């Protein structure tokens, strides 16, 4: 995403437009060579995914996301997931991001597939390496209340080709859940400090970091802030 596109997206975010509006652009030349879903404005960010069936199974995951709009529903990002940002990166899955309002309308049975992003944002788990700190903060304010539905279609990175069934992904939702070796590797790769990012976001958002236990089963329905009671944030 180049600077012009990034600033345009952030301008839309600050104006309170829906998710797809943040990366929307006039369609032109859509049949030209090189045109496609990610040929226009899109967002790139990095997070640490974990398998819902086994929270100890975790992956550094690169997201490349573009807005998607349908009549009457224009608040979704659709993302392709890679294991790195290199030219020979493996395409390991897909993720859909929707607003909290859209999530609340889902059937109860469907909600077990969707994970919250509150802890990932506030604890520094999600980063956008290509953005400046102030731009990244604006972007993360939009991501904070969203929900994601992610599947890894290459569940075992040791396999030479994708094998087996897609694996449902969940989000880290409390301190002590992440593999610290992955955090260290990610920080080293992108020259950042997850702890420093966490402190900056705590100051900016003015909210306590969520504390939600890992899922007990594949049927667990996610929460954004607390294990029990009213699921709302606590101010610092």
Contact yes or no for 128/143 (Cβ under 8 A): no
Q: Is residue 35 part of a domain?
A: no
Query: What confidence tier does 164 reach under pLDDT thresholds 50, 70, 90?
Result: very high
The domain in which residue 122 lies consists of 3-23+41-205
Q: Is residue 216 part of a domain?
A: no
Q: Is residue 78 part of a domain?
A: yes
Q: Is residue 95 part of a domain?
A: yes
184 backbone dihedrals φ, ψ, rounded to 5°: -65, -40
User: Which residue did the predictor score with more confidence, 107 or 25?
Assistant: 107
Give pLDDT tens digits for 45-75.
999 999 999 999 999 999 999 887 776 665 7
Query: What confidence tier does 99 reach under pLDDT thresholds 50, 70, 90?
Result: very high
Q: Is residue 36 part of a domain?
A: no
Q: Is residue 228 part of a domain?
A: no
Q: Is residue 217 part of a domain?
A: no
pLDDT surpasses 70 at 208: yes
User: Which residue did the predictor score with more confidence, 31 or 120?
Assistant: 120
Give pLDDT tens digits for 132-149.
888 899 999 999 999 999
Q: What number is the average pLDDT over the span 101-113?
A: 96
- pTM, to two decimals: 0.85
Query: Per the structure block, which two tokens stand in for 124?
Result: 């520094």
Give the separation between CA 211 and CA 216, rounded to whole angstroms: 15
Specify the number of domains making up the chain: 1
- What stretch of H or E contains 182? helix 180-190
Q: Is residue 236 part of a domain?
A: no
pLDDT surpasses 50 at 34: yes
């Amino acid at each position: 995403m180049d600077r012009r596109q990034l600033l345009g997206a952030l301008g839309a975010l600050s104006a309170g437009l829906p998710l797809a509006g943040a990366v929307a652009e006039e369609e032109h030349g859509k049949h030209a060579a090189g045109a496609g879903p990610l040929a226009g404005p899109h967002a790139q960010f990095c997070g640490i995914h974990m398998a819902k069936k086994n929270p100890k199974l975790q992956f550094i995951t690169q997201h490349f996301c573009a807005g998607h709009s349908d009549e009457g529903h224009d608040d979704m990002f659709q993302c392709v997931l890679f294991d790195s940002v290199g030219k020979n990166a493996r395409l390991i899955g897909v993720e859909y991001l929707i607003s909290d309002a859209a999530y609340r309308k889902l059937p109860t049975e469907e909600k077990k597939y969707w994970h919250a992003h509150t802890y990932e944002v506030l604890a520094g788990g999600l980063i956008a390496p290509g953005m400046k700190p102030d731009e990244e903060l604006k972007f993360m304010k939009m991501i904070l209340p969203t929900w994601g539905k992610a599947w890894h279609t290459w569940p075992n990175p040791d396999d030479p080709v994708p094998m087996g069934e897609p694996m449902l992904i969940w989000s880290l939702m409390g301190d002590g859940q992440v593999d610290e070796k992955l955090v260290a590797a990610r920080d080293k790769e992108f020259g950042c400090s997850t702890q420093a990012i966490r402190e900056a976001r705590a100051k900016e958002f003015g909210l306590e970091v969520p504390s939600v236990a890992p899922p007990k089963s594949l049927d667990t329905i996610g929460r954004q802030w607390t294990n029990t009671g009213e699921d709302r944030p606590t101010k610092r």
